[in-house]
A and B are shown apart, each in its own frame.
Chain A
Amino acid sequence: MVYHSSFVDENGVNRACGCPLLPLKSHIKGPAPVSDQDRTDIVDEAITFFRANVFFRNFDIKSPADKLLIYLTFYINVALKRLEGCRTLAEGTKAVINLGLEKVPVPGESGFPFSGLFPLPQSHPEAGGQRSSVPNGFSFPPPSSAMSSNINGQILPYPCPHLAEFRRTSSKPFRALHHCLRIKPPGGRAAIRRDPNEVPCCAACGLSSPSRLYACVTCATVSCHTIAADGDSLSHAAAHAASMPHGHQIAVDVDRAELFCCACCDQVYDRDFDAAVVIAQTTASTLGGGSTATPPLQPENLRKRRRVNYLPWAPDLREQALIGSCSSPIDGATDDSYHFPRGLRGLNNLGNTCFMNSVLQALLHTPPLRNYFLSDRHNRYFCQNKSSDEGDSGNAGKKSGGINGNKSGRICLACDMDAMFSAIFSGDRAPYSPAKFLYSWWQHAANLASYEQQDAHEFFISMLDGIHEKVEKDRCKPHSEGSGDCCIAHRVFSGILRSDVMCMACGFTSTTYDPCIDISLDLEPNQGGSTKKAAASSNRTCNGEADCSSQNCGTSTLMGCLERFTRAERLGSDQKFFCQQCKVRQETLKQMSIRKLPLVSCFHIKRFEHSSTRKMSRKLDRYLQFPFSLDMSPYLSSSILRSRFGNRIFPFDGDEPDATNEVSSEFELFAVVTHSGKLDAGHYVTYLRLNNQWYKCDDAWVTRVDENIVRAAQGYMMFYVQKMLYYKASDKQVAS
């Protein structure tokens, strides 16, 4: 037996095409009245009965609401068909929203599925009412009642009914506006002007200075939208919308080129319009000169990463046997040395080598790097980079091999890393001497080979370079560094930076992408030279940090440094840049952003300052606050670009359709390298976070410390790993 609609009471319900306009649980204003959120409406009913009703061949119509139920059942079917091919929630949401935006055939038009069931519309508005009532009810989001959906990791608001109506009634909605889009050179902001030098002013009050001027997209009247102090009387823009029959609600902000609905008093978004504005803006900044720079160059070394579903793995019988026969059990990992996790082992200082020890400790506990070496991906006995006799003879032979290795190209830092990983994770707790590694590194970087103190950061760069170089020479394949598939060092640490240089005169922007191993950050200047700067920075510390939640006033933070790093910076008049469009050197604006995040982000704080004017160097001992969990999304290219183009629905550089960025932009701190002492004489100490417990690695001594000590430490290099690669709890189980 079919289920009939319970909405049989028709008192006070309007009809369109024989269908009652029943109340709907929607915040969008349409012809249908709004129902209470906690009551069941016709849409709920249709969804509830769908599974039952869809099987019936015949439906005995008892009330007009039944017709609606039939139509809705059909519509759900259509929606389900659309969802068939969608793999993710975001895709599905998008498909359903698109369906809701489509033109719905009304009774009497071709394409309407139930001819004869519904009477024809008497007038056009009725058809309009019918139309808009359907998408109203049916742009239902699959996840219960969220009123907006998430596409490309961006919150996508529901289209306002006035905008939807406007798009339906006009054939080419925003065509006229395209001629009026003006891009203003400094900053490249979009504006709406009929001719470039026009001074728009409100048609009602004649003022040209109010902050918000809107041009009606239907009749081109410009009105201001200054809200009266009492908030009751209508603004001129709202009054204009109200005075016209209909279709004059949508207006465009003349200074921002953003759409606004005067009836809803809210910003509205239109995909096509936003796309047109963004394209106009990018064209103005790149194609204007007719140069070779085509719209945003994609770095060619960015491959689309395909997502693979997680499959739990359990060894079958054969694999169990193999594991049993080929491995030896880990002996007493928990008994010895006060339950320190496996792999914590001090490194002996070989004579001012704390710079090396500190970085090595961090690298030895870098999850992706550790997994790589411990899973035998680079085996020192089978390494192709060394001569075969050396490889076979093992550790003893390696010493002699190292000495012979002067013949260039015989050293392999990755092999030494592998040897070190074996030693560190062997379970032996006695401090280890990385002498072999030091020797190999000396051969790699001959200019740094001495017992003098070195910079830890310099060592870090140099040794990753050493691991990389070896593989590069070996394979002779033209790998690009940024792609991260050349060697383990780059696979783990390499990201891509995007730098935009914009000409201040014409707005021409040149974009370059550079691979990076780490990000070097300037400490925020506390005491500026000029009085103006001092005023600005003191303000900044009071106000600016209020946003960075839970930050104390007056201290610089890592977030603050990153914010400065990605902020648009005006290059001084002394370092003018050659503009391809103007053909002369111009003042420029430079902005950095992160195009691709590495698996492990290393932040290097520039604590050693070299002043060329005073011909001296000094160390900045200022404290820098760093969070244990860091969200990198505000510093990504997509976020930076988005803020540059105003509020738009448009996928920007780096936006991936399935919102993987959102997941991978969260980072966890796992190692901090600190420096104490002066510029020329000091000591490096590493704090490691294992199983959410902090350990201080001071050369040969490893001690457990409280996290407050770490927070108070003067960080020099911070190592963050992507959250999904950081195992907070499960590490312990693996170790024990």
Chain B
Amino acid sequence: MKSKSSVNRPPTPDVLEDTPEREPTLQELINIKLIETGEKERLMELLRERLVDCGWKDEMKSLCRAFVKKKGRNNVTVDELIHVITPKGRASVPDSVKAELLQKIRTFLVSAAL
């Protein structure tokens, strides 16, 4: 079977295996830079902390609970949950958290550009 031959292959393919060489966009460049320096991980950790602090996580949790309760425990998939909750979640992130994160990213960009 096909699967047998690839059992030992690591599960991530070579990045540029068959895609033609193309200029990465600025957004992608920044993203790669963020990941390479480990800044992205730090920012994500900070964001997690802030979202817990401001109660956003609890709020999302109760929204999810309510949805699962409404639909019945056996009829819900993660995808449905994400589909329903994501818009509400995006809308209810406090502006102060967004501002803080934006400030951090700006600072990083300035320091990375030098």
Contact = CB atoms under 8 A, between A and B. Distances in A.
Do A and B originate from a single complex?
yes
Interface of A: 27, 147-148, 169-172, 175-177, 179-180, 184, 186-187, 192-194, 197-201, 203, 206-209, 212, 215-222, 225, 227, 231, 245, 247, 252, 254, 260, 264-267, 532, 535-536, 539-548, 567, 570
A331 to B, nearest CB: 54
B54 interface: yes
B9 A176 contact: yes
B55 A222 contact: no
A488 B2 CA distance: 66
A101 B58 CA distance: 36
B3 interface: yes
Contacts of A227: 79, 82-83
B107 interface: no
Contacts of B83: 227, 231
Interface string B10-48: 111101000100000001100110011000011001001
Nearest to B18: A203
A176 B8 contact: yes
Interface of B: 1-4, 6-13, 15, 19, 27-28, 31-32, 35-36, 41-42, 45, 48-50, 52-56, 58-59, 61-62, 73-74, 77-80, 82-83, 92, 94, 96, 100
Contacts of A200: 12
A546 B65 CA distance: 12
Nearest to A548: B58
A218 B12 contact: no
B8 A180 contact: no
A200 B11 CA distance: 11
A222 B10 contact: no
A219 B77 CA distance: 24
A169 B3 contact: yes
B11 A252 contact: yes
Nearest to A547: B58
Contacts of B78: 260, 265-267
Given A199-B35, A206-B19, A220-B6, A543 B54 contact: yes
Given A266-B79, A539-B54, A199 B62 contact: no
Given A227-B79, A254-B12, 5 more contacts: A219-B2, A220-B11, A247-B3, A539-B55, A546-B58
B89 to A, nearest CB: 11
Nearest to B14: A194
Contact of A218 (B6, B55, B62): B6
Q: Which of A171, A199, A207, A217 has the most CB of B within 10 A?
A: A199
Contacts of B3: 169-170, 218-219, 247
A192 B11 contact: yes
A186 B12 contact: no
A71 B41 CA distance: 55
B12 A220 contact: yes
Nearest to B19: A206
Which 4 residue pairs across A and B have the least CB separation, nearest first?
A544-B55, A543-B55, A547-B58, A220-B11
Given A266-B77, A546-B59, A536 B12 contact: no
Contacts, number: 139
Contact residues of A: prevailing secondary structure:
loop
Contact of A170 (B7, B13, B62): B7
Contacts of A567: 52
B11 A186 contact: no
B96 A220 contact: no
Given A175-B7, A186-B45, A221-B13, A547 B59 contact: yes
A223 B94 CA distance: 31
Contacts of B10: 176, 179-180, 194, 220
B78 to A, nearest CB: 5
Most buried by A among B2, B12, B61: B12
Given A231-B83, A267-B78, A547-B59, A536 B54 contact: yes
Nearest to A193: B12
B30 to A, nearest CB: 10
A199 B40 CA distance: 12
A395 B104 CA distance: 73
A25 to B, nearest CB: 13
A227 to B, nearest CB: 6
B36 A546 contact: no
Contacts of B9: 176, 219-220
Contacts of A546: 55, 58-59, 62
Nearest to A248: B3
B105 to A, nearest CB: 13
Contacts of A264: 77
Nearest to A191: B41
A216 B61 CA distance: 28
A146 B81 CA distance: 21
Contacts of A172: 7
Given A169-B1, A543-B56, A197 B36 contact: yes
Nearest to B62: A547
B11 A540 contact: no
A225 B41 CA distance: 21
Highest count of chain B CB atoms <10 Å: which of A175, A176, A539 = A539
A218 B13 CA distance: 12
In this complex, the member of B11, B50, B73 whose beta carbon has the largest number of chain A beta carbons within 10 angstroms is B11
A539 B11 contact: no
A225 B80 CA distance: 12
Nearest to B87: A229
Report which residue of A175, A217, A254, A536 has the largest number of chain B beta carbons within 10 angstroms of its beta carbon.
Answer: A536
